[in-house]
Amino acid sequence: MSNQRFDIAVIGAGSGGLTVAAAAAQFGQRVVLFEKSEMGGDCLNTGCVPSKALLAAAKQAQAMRSGAQFGIAAVEPQVDFAAVRAHVKRAIAAIAPNDSQERFEKLGVTVVRAAAAFRDARTLVADGVPYEARRIVISTGSRAAVPPIPGLSDIPYLTNETIFENETLPEHLIIIGGGPIGLEMAQAHRRLGSRVTVIEGAEPLGKDDPELTAVVLAKLKAEGIVIHARTAVASVSQDSGGIAVETGAGVITGSHLLVATGRKPNIEGLGLEAAGIAFTPRGVTVNAGLRTSNPCVYAVGDVAGGLQFTHVAGYHAGLVIRNALFGLPVKANAIIPWVTYTDPELAHAGLTEAQARDTHGTGIKVLRWPFHENDRAQAEGSTAGFVKVITTSGGRILGASIVGPQAGELIQPWVHAMSRKLKVGAMVSPVAPYPTRGEASRRAAITYFADYASNPVVRRVIRVISALRP
């Protein structure tokens, strides 16, 4: 059988793969796209979209409980879990046409709904058919990492890939893992009516600044979520009461178990060795331009072994298009923000305070502005949280973190400023509309200049200027 020949072959129809395929096809390239499962990948079907839809339903339930401060009688919501699931599925269905096979075929992409594996450096085989391409992009994403806990393989458990298919609201959901996925699902299920216990072997949200995570964890605990930090899981089993999790703190029994202990790249079955592509358990090895050890092949998104976010995959895809189609030099070095979509949200970009101190020692400034000093936050009765910014002593912005409502939206100007290498003064100049939460970022930036008011040199300069003016 003769090879089918293409300019670009893409393995995996998640965010990164779809972006590459669409852009390449629109530039007139012959593109083949392989997907063995659902178009749209993890983000659309089992990740970002369903989780945020579930969180939105849970937020509505919580709003019904929280009206007393506004003079509105609090009521306990009647949760129809089947209807909640229908809302989640509607959200997926509304977005799915953008990622569908039909749309990509209309763009001119050849879509093959089968697994693809390398036969050699430039040839892939799917369903026994060889496909040759000048450039190949691996965009196979990642999946839930399941730890080797004794007894886990013998009991039913959920991951992010199966929890949205769960048809009954858990009576008591036990979650192993206190990262973003674990805590988002903890709050969503608690607000919908489940008892929730989270078990984390280290610190919950351990990759973020502990000063900010404390605000999130306090809110979760206030809502009734039990969090066991620095607690190891010894084993799990099933008994008449449901799922039993044995820890150093005792046995915890619940009706359902969610395992949310991280992700692992999807590299199995790709035949990477046949194409001379280096890889590790963390993913496919790439250089700064996202090329693998086979110069004809790129890897993007989760499978490339870096930060595992949908927006990273999209960013990677843009770099690959620039290099593969136009021969432009590229380097993956953008400022990457991340957000935990609990309530309050937790957003971060750049260096944390601890990282900045490790790198710059005492030559940094820490700027803060609390939301209880923000008029919009006061008007909405939601004042927990703050903006925290790290700069050098000279004003270069090293990092920003925000905890509070809409933190994911509020972090974006800081990402722009860091990406453009602007100094903190650039965040002071724009006029913020009043009243908005965005004012808190400007007020945090202004605190950089607070010392100037008491600086004796500045005061002498002001006196001289005042004396010289008529």
**pLDDT > 70: what percent of the chain?**
97
Supply the pLDDT for residue 457.
Answer: 66
Residue 117 pLDDT grade (very low, low, confident, very high; cuts 50, 70, 90): very high
Sheet of 250-254, strands arranged across: 233-239, 242-247, 250-254
pLDDT at 268 over 70: yes
What distances in angstroms separate CA 342 from CA 59, 171, 345, 440, one per listed residue? 10, 21, 5, 20
Which structure tokens are listed for 31? 């593109």
- Chain segment 180-219, per-residue pLDDT in tens: 999 999 999 999 999 999 999 999 999 999 999 999 999 9
- Chain segment 291-315, per-residue pLDDT in tens: 999 999 999 999 999 999 999 999 9
Rounded to a whole number, what is the distance in angstroms from the first to the last CA of the chain?
Answer: 92
- Chain segment 379-401, per-residue pLDDT in tens: 999 999 999 999 999 999 999 99
Least confident of 79-93, 310-324, 337-351, 449-463: 449-463
Residue 44 pLDDT grade (very low, low, confident, very high; cuts 50, 70, 90): very high
Residues of the chain with CATH 3.50.50.60: 4-143+264-326, 152-261
* Residue range 42-70: mean pLDDT, rounded: 96
Give the pairing type, strands 386-392 and 263-265. unpaired
d(CA 13, CA 351): 32
d(CA 358, CA 390): 13
Supply the pLDDT for residue 102.
Answer: 97
Supply the pLDDT for residue 455.
Answer: 65
Supply the pLDDT for residue 458.
Answer: 62
The CATH code for residues 344-454 is 3.30.390.30
Residue 452 pLDDT grade (very low, low, confident, very high; cuts 50, 70, 90): low
- Chain segment 151-185, per-residue pLDDT in tens: 999 999 999 999 999 999 999 999 999 999 999 99
- Chain segment 403-444, per-residue pLDDT in tens: 999 999 999 999 999 999 999 999 999 999 999 999 999 999
Contact between residue 410 and residue 345 where contact means Cβ atoms under 8 Å apart: no
- CA nearest to 402, candidates 350, 448, 333: 350
What distances in angstroms separate CA 366 from CA 279, 303, 384, 400, 444, one per listed residue? 39, 35, 19, 10, 9
- Chain segment 65-85, per-residue pLDDT in tens: 999 999 999 999 999 999 999
Which structure tokens are listed for 403? 């905890």
Which structure tokens are listed for 226? 């039990």
d(CA 115, CA 127): 7
Assess if CATH 3.30.710.10 describes domain 152-261.
Answer: no
Among 3.50.50.60, 3.30.1330.10, 2.30.40.10, 3.40.47.10, name the CATH number for the domain at 4-143+264-326.
3.50.50.60
Residues of the chain with CATH 3.30.390.30: 344-454
